[in-house]
Amino acid sequence: MDYKMPHRCPVCEHEMKISKLTCTHCPTKIEGEFSSCKFCQLPAEQLIFMEAFIKCRGNIKEVEKELGISYPTVRSRLDSAIEALGYGVDKVGVPENEKMDFSEESLRRQGILEALERGEISAQEATRQMRKQSTKV
């Protein structure tokens, strides 16, 4: 069984380095300090998203269909993955209505709308949850 390599220390949460490589065929072992690839360090959810994004050749409409998520969610997950890879997300030149709001409230509202879009809740239930959400803020 292959286990995924941990990238964060379970004690202090700092980055871990690879220090030993072993050949799967012969007894060769190499010791040193090696870095892993950036993609290997992404959480499972971001890896799944990035695989779908690449499979769909960056076509956001196709990613929406592939993962069953809305356009704003695709954009949000893409921005999140870009940032996790260590790159800045340039919001300059993005129309105001396309800028992503990552506040906790916004993410909850987005989840409610996605559940409605997937048919998991009725319009009345979505309205009730949205109103309940508004009174919490």
Tens-level pLDDT at each residue, the chain (137 residues): 667 777 778 899 888 888 888 999 999 999 988 877 788 778 888 899 999 999 999 998 999 999 999 888 899 899 988 888 888 876 554 544 555 555 667 777 778 888 888 888 888 888 888 888 777 65
Q: What is the pLDDT of residue 132?
A: 82
Catalogue the long-range contacts made by 75-80 (C-beta closer than 8 Å, 24 or more residues apart): 75/100, 76/100, 76/102, 76/110, 77/46, 77/49, 78/49, 78/53, 80/46
- pLDDT value at position 95? 47
Q: Please tell me the predicted confidence (pLDDT) of residue 137.
A: 55
93 three-class SS: coil
pLDDT at 17: 84
Angle at 54 between CA 53 and CA 59, to 5 degrees: 55
* CA-wise closest residue to 81 among 107, 108, 56, 52: 52
